[in-house]
Structure 1
Amino acid sequence: MKNECITAAPTGYRATLRTPKMAAGATVGLRGRDRFPSRHTAKASRPSYSVAMLALATSCFAIVQAVSADAAEFEADVVETNGAMVRSGRLAVKGDDTRFSYQRNGLPVVEITKPADGMKLILHPIQRTYMELKRSPADLGPAATATGGDPGKTNSDSAATADKATSDKPKAGGASGEKVPCALTPGFACERIGGEEHAGIATDVWTIGKPGAPAGLKLWWDKSRGIAVREEYRDGRVIQAVKQADTTYETLRVEQWERTYLLPSGQFMRTAMLFAPSLGAPVYEQQPDGTTRRLVNIEARAPDMSLFEIPKGYRKIAVGPPPPWSAMPPTAPDAGTPGGDAGARPEAGATPDAGSNNGASAPSQSPAKSGAGNGAGGKR
């Protein structure tokens, strides 16, 4: 398997999408003008199906970004497939921190994300250099996003309140822990407006949008799993997730979920996701364009702390003015577009073009022992 971050955007949609050990998901063909936009755009960043955690230059793989903050500790290979296109990387998760190693344009890249510190490190092992992308606690957005707290909080909250929000962040616990949708989202107003039951699941209801503008997204958030079970966009699009059954994936007990994408025209399509409560993350995802992403060779163990540190001898290099941090909750389209032009949005769970010239490299949901983790990109 070639371990390469490929930036070419796949086009079109497949008529049938299948998951491991599951029947085909029913789909409806979409007319050209009704298709969801390509998942690669000029936008700089965005997360996937679970708590947003990769900021600024995002990873090639949405599955990497889909791992919840406070997920269980584990290592896994990440494989993304779309037709003949295959790309891969190695993911390590320890508490809030994640490390994702892969190859971009034939060169190893390592991304280390530390949400508690508001920091992302991008390492280039061949050059032995790194970039540091950091935000202060005051820049991390409303306190409500970190605590699930007061609905009235906005991005104008004081630094002291934001500091408290960071210290009060909910702890890990898989399906029993409490997670919130708007981590690391400066520049967006995230407001919890209440709670509702959706398909038998207790959810918090959030609105998300640009400060001073009408909310572009209404979100029903399952805080125990750290996923959105329903999203309503101002342009009439709706994305809904419903738990179907329990099954097994690589010896793990996982939940089988079905996601339905509804267009204002009345057309729809369905995809599937497998969510592992013990990991606090999806292990398999389908996208509307036919792309599948999965975790394989999962090792439920604590990665070595050294994996999340800057190796000795690495030289820090400057970073130009960065784009906004990833700013949308899991499973939602690009954070930069809530309430904007629907034609400019990637589909839910999308990741921006990792090859975008933003001065940095870039899901997980996020490959085998022979993948980036054991290649040049995975060694320090």
Structure 2
Amino acid sequence: MDGEGRQCRQMSVPPPRCLAIRRGGRAMGKCAGLVAVGMGMFLTASPALAAPAFTAEAIHAPPGQSPETGRVFISEQGSRFEFERKGRPVIQIMLPGQAVMRLLFPEDKTYVEMTQLPQSKIAHPKTPCPLPEVAQCEQTAVETLNGRSVEVWRITFNQMPGDLAAGKKSIASGPIQIWWDAERKVAIREQYPDGGLSTTTLRGRVDHQGRSVEHWQVTLTRPDGETVQMSRWYDPELQTDVREERPNGTVREFRNIRLVAPDPAWFAVPAGYRRVDSPVRRNGRPAHPPGAPSVPTPQPGEAYLLDDADAPAVR
């Protein structure tokens, strides 16, 4: 696995999700950096069919630092995420059904609109497969693991055109095998070609903010035998993670969750806003639109919960 894959390992993020998100972002071209704005700061959620609409306070609390906060609005139609970047408000709207994502900058009354990767397939997947342009995927068997029926999948990541031109090797030296719980839509076990292993274990039901949720523990075993663990709290009714604890002590969670009637105004562009483009700098990364606040390109892994994914994820 090359440097890109090692970065996923260093972050203790299971490679299929991490790499799929990183490669998916690259496939989006000039908008890849803006797509991940805010994704790494907070636990994120994507709309799920049959899940109730809700709003919540989003918390990102790195160890030894002041927590960052935002607010999310989620319904079947899409998701709205309000947060601040360098003291300036930003609103991110994702509409999977329209394959559209918007970034709104209220102080400037401008917004960016771009074609969105089908995030719903990443955040609420029927299978563990990344997008076809990212990897090849096939189901090989059905087995029983920990008393539950699981699907066995083989994933082989594609060589990206830019890597071919640069003479880089594929991000994985061979196929990754995944044992997939189709009911809960979670990878119970992931075996990597270098000998690494990721396992996900249900620890039971717990209370989170007055809601009954499932506590899952993820253990990543590196090829040298070293292990790291993270925890996720999954809300079956909302069909999303509501809390995550990373190995370094970082906590991302939803608090003050309220079930509400969905409001189409969450996802509309307010009157008086002007649409601007997102030009490309010479290095291929997106430049900031005229009038938009300066938002730095996210660091590796910040979009994990798109998978998670991460995230979102958020899953």
TM-score for the superposition, normalised by structure 1:
0.58
C-alpha distance in structure 1 between counterparts of 2:45 and 2:247, whole Å: 16
Alignment of 1:196-235 (within 5 A): 196-211=143-158, 216-235=175-194
Work out whether residues 143 and 151 of structure 2, in 8 Å CA contact, stay in contact via their aligned partners in 1.
yes
Matched, 1:82 2:62: yes
2:295 maps to which residue?
none
Alignment of 1:77-226 (within 5 A): 77-85=57-65, 86-95=67-76, 97-134=78-115, 179-182=126-129, 186-211=133-158, 216-226=175-185
Q: Which amino acid aligns with 1:134?
A: T
Q: Which amino acid aligns with 1:58?
A: A
C-alpha distance in structure 2 between counterparts of 1:348 and 1:314, whole Å: 27
User: How far did residue 225 of structure 1 move?
Assistant: 2.4
Structure 2 gap segments, 5+ residues each: 1-5, 23-30, 160-169, 287-298
Work out whether residues 60 and 351 of structure 1, in 8 Å CA contact, stay in contact via their aligned partners in 2.
no
Q: Which amino acid aligns with 1:304?
A: D
C-alpha distance in structure 1 between counterparts of 2:113 and 2:204, whole Å: 42
User: How far did residue 91 of structure 1 move?
Assistant: 1.1
Matched, 1:240 2:220: no
Structure 1 gap segments, 5+ residues each: 1-32, 48-54, 147-171, 173-177, 325-343, 353-362, 367-380
Secondary structure of the corresponding residue to residue 114 of structure 2? strand
Q: Deviations over 1:337-363 (max 9, x none)?
A: xxxxxxx975994689xxxxxxxxxx5
Aligned length: 260
User: How far did residue 201 of structure 1 move?
Assistant: 2.9
Report % sequence identity. 27
| Structure-2 change in CA distance of 1:120 and 1:205 (3 Å) | farther
Q: Deviations over 1:191-216 (max 9, x none)?
A: 33333333233333333343366655
Root-mean-square deviation (Å)? 3.9
Q: Point out the structure with the larger helix share.
A: 2
User: How far did residue 294 of structure 1 move?
Assistant: 1.0
Secondary structure of the corresponding residue to residue 120 of structure 1? strand
1:37 maps to which residue?
10
1:58 maps to which residue?
36
Secondary structure of the corresponding residue to residue 108 of structure 2? coil
| Structure-2 change in CA distance of 1:35 and 1:222 (3 Å) | closer
Alignment of 1:271-350 (within 5 A): 271-320=230-279, 346=301, 349=304
Q: Which amino acid aligns with 2:204?
A: A
Secondary structure of the corresponding residue to residue 116 of structure 1? helix
Matched, 1:266 2:253: no
C-alpha distance in structure 1 between counterparts of 2:229 and 2:252, whole Å: 16
Secondary structure of the corresponding residue to residue 213 of structure 2? strand
Alignment of 1:351-366 (within 5 A): 364=312
1:46 maps to which residue?
21
Q: Which amino acid aligns with 2:262?
A: P
Q: Deviations over 1:147-166 (max 9, x none)?
A: xxxxxxxxxxxxxxxxxxxx
Q: Deviations over 1:110-130 (max 9, x none)?
A: 111111222111111111111
Q: Point out the structure with the larger strand share.
A: 2
Work out whether residues 91 and 100 of structure 1, in 8 Å CA contact, stay in contact via their aligned partners in 2.
yes
User: How far did residue 298 of structure 1 move?
Assistant: 0.2
Q: Which amino acid aligns with 2:36?
A: T
Q: Which amino acid aligns with 1:74?
A: F
| Structure-2 change in CA distance of 1:347 and 1:311 (3 Å) | closer
C-alpha distance in structure 2 between counterparts of 1:203 and 1:348, whole Å: 27
Work out whether residues 39 and 303 of structure 2, in 8 Å CA contact, stay in contact via their aligned partners in 1.
no
